[in-house]
Chains A and B, each alone.
Chain A
């Protein structure tokens, strides 16, 4: 699953550490999400969407063909 998390975070001028603190996860989790190595839980995806005041689909792009999990 692709995502625009890094792009959106940088647009808002937020550091990975700050976002991690707000979400209650580690900085490595934010880094892994941005690199597409880890797909978030539904709860974390919704929390991120609410934090950025966007829809989940605006941040995370689900592509069935590339879905490996």
Chain B
């Protein structure tokens, strides 16, 4: 399990380096996007690797992290936070959508509207799936 985690993080880092190499190879007309993606993947892999190594070295920290991952109150708080974030996002996106459409930024307004529709559709699909499961 531990080795599997390390392997995934190392693969992420290698993928990040390869994407960066591709960006700097001159084969791509605009390397900035690839550089951003590559650097992002590289940093995420590196941070996860360092974090796992730190946890593995400290038994007290490892125990706390394991307890936190199983703790039902943390799961409850996480669920509540997602619920609140979802509701707040919908309100913010709706305000942005209306403001953009009123100010004539039609494309941006439509993007916000589509994101609201997508979220509501996803919510409906997930609700139906979970209603069958539970």
Contacts and interface: CB of A to CB of B under 8 A. Distances in A.
Q: Indicate, yes or no, whether A interacts with B.
A: yes
Contacts, number: 27
Nearest to A27: B67
Contacts of A24: 67, 70-71
Contacts of A43: 72
B68 A26 contact: yes
Interface residues of A, number: 12
Interface string A30-45: 0010000010110110
A54 interface: no
A14 interface: no
B114 to A, nearest CB: 35
A68 B117 CA distance: 31
A20 B64 CA distance: 11
Contacts of A20: 67
Interface centre among A20, A29, A43 (most CB of B within 10 A): A29
B4 interface: no
A25 interface: yes
27 contacts: A20-B67, A24-B67, A24-B70, A24-B71, A25-B67, A25-B70, A25-B71, A25-B72, A25-B73, A26-B64, A26-B67, A26-B68, A26-B71, A26-B73, A26-B74, A28-B73, A29-B71, A29-B72, A29-B73, A29-B74, A32-B73, A38-B73, A38-B76, A40-B72, A41-B72, A43-B72, A44-B72
Interface of B: 64, 67-68, 70-74, 76
